[in-house]
């Protein structure tokens, strides 16, 4: 099968997210837990980067630090050169649970994210909410309540809500984890289209190796607890991709490399626990 090379190297773009020696410890039952240990990674402008790793390795912790929902213990963490010191409109976050407000229509859920945005009239906020609902394929469902929508549709509303203030960076923590396989595939393609249109950087956390390769420009594999960067891999395949690409030699090569690294990390972790 033909292998297409990427037309553009994302590494040539400016650095958007920069993490150096990022460590995060928690106190739990008077014991210190190191969730992240000197994590070093970068995400460039318009780059789609996935974080893969075993459960408990600190993926969500890292994403929360970038979102500004939690503070690092040590290290450097900057967005566009500015230290991250709290949540901000330059980052949109999508979690596995869509957490929509059940008493609001889809468009109101999206417009709610603009509540504190100054300089926009109510009509403009509504117009933006409608625009982003259309972008995620929900035209005609603006006045549906969350309970009237499927899981995939609700997650699309959550994505529209994260995008409506045009963040520079989209942070997604297993956003499709709760969806059935077919809906998940549809959502991956939708996300690829949105990413091409919105041109934001994406930090995408997943357990799914295929999903990470399919969507990403680069993949970071983390070690088991405490989380460190174990491997970084550039996915050198053209975009947009389609299901055919998942059968290509190159895709299978990436998958083999990543799965073997995950297995290696698993056995290292087992050895460490037995020592």
Ligand X SMILES: Nc1ncnc2c1ncn2[C@@H]1O[C@H](COP(=O)(O)OP(=O)(O)OP(=O)(O)O)[C@@H](O)[C@H]1O
Instruction: Please give the residue ranges that form the binding site for Mg ion (CB under 5 A).
Output: 60
Q: Name the residue nearer to Mg ion (CB basis): 60 or 109.
A: 60
136 touches 157 (CB < 8 A): yes
Burial class (CB in 10 A: 0-12, 13-18, 19+), 262: buried
Is the CB of residue 98 less than 8 Å from the CB of residue 168? no
Distances (CA, A) of 146 to 65, 66, 135, 273: 29, 28, 18, 44
Report which secondary-structure segment, H or E, holds 39: strand 31-44
Out of 44, 50, 58, 219, name the contact with ligand X by CB under 6 A.
Answer: 58
**Which of Mg ion, ligand X, none sits in contact with 170, Cβ below 5 to 8 A by type?**
none
Q: Of these, 50, 60, 188, 206, which contacts ligand X (CB under 6 A)?
A: 60
* Residue among 3 and 259 whose Cβ is closer to ligand X: 259
Q: Which of 5, 13, 6 is nearest to 199 (CA)?
A: 13
Cα-Cα-Cα-Cα dihedral sign, residues 100, 103, 105, 109? negative
Q: Is 72 in the site for ligand X (CB under 6 A)?
A: no
Examine residue 223 and tell whether it contacts ligand X (CB under 6 A): no
* Distance of closest approach, residue 233 Cβ to ligand X, in angstroms: 18
| Rounded distance between C-alpha atoms, residue 64 and residue 19, angstroms | 13
* Residue numbers 98-127 binding ligand X by CB under 6 A: none
Spatial contact of 213 and 255, defined as CB atoms under 8 Å apart: yes
Minimum Å gap between C-beta 273 and ligand X is 13
The single residue among 17, 19, 35, 213 that binds ligand X, judged by CB under 6 A, is 35
Nearer Cβ to Mg ion (50/60): 60
Q: Which is nearer to Mg ion, 110 or 203 (CB)?
A: 203
Does 57 participate in binding ligand X (rule CB under 6 A)? yes
In the complex, the residues that contact ligand X under the rule CB under 6 A are 26, 28, 33, 35, 53, 55-61, 225
């Amino acid at each position: 099968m033909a292998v297409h090379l990427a037309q553009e190297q994302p590494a040539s773009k400016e650095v958007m997210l920069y993490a150096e020696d990022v460590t995060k410890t928690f106190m739990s039952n008077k014991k210190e837990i190191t969730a992240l240990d000197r994590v070093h990674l970068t995400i460039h402008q318009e780059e789609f980067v996935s974080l893969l790793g075993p459960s408990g390795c600190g993926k969500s912790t890292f994403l929360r630090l970038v979102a500004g929902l939690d503070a690092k213990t040590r290290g450097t963490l900057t967005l566009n050169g500015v230290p991250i010191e709290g949540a901000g409109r330059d980052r949109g976050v999508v979690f596995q649970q869509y957490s929509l407000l059940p008493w609001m229509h889809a468009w109101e859920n999206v417009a709610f994210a603009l509540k504190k945005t100054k300089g926009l009239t109510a009509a403009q906020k509504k117009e933006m909410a409608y625009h982003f609902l259309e972008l995620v394929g929900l035209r005609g469902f603006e006045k549906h309540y969350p309970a009237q929508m499927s899981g995939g549709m609700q997650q699309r509303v959550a994505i529209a809500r994260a995008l409506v203030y045009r963040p520079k960076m989209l942070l997604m923590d297993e956003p499709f984890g709760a969806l059935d396989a077919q809906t998940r595939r549809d959502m991956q393609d939708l996300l690829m289209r949105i990413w091409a249109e919105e041109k934001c950087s994406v930090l995408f956390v997943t357990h799914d190796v295929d999903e990470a390769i399919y969507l990403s420009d680069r993949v970071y594999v983390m070690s088991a607890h405490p989380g460190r960067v174990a491997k970084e891999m550039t996915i050198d395949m053209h975009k947009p991709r389609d299901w055919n690409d998942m059968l290509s030699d190159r895709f299978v090569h990436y998958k083999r490399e990543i799965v073997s690294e995950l297995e290696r990390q698993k056995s290292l972790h087992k050895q460490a626990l037995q020592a």
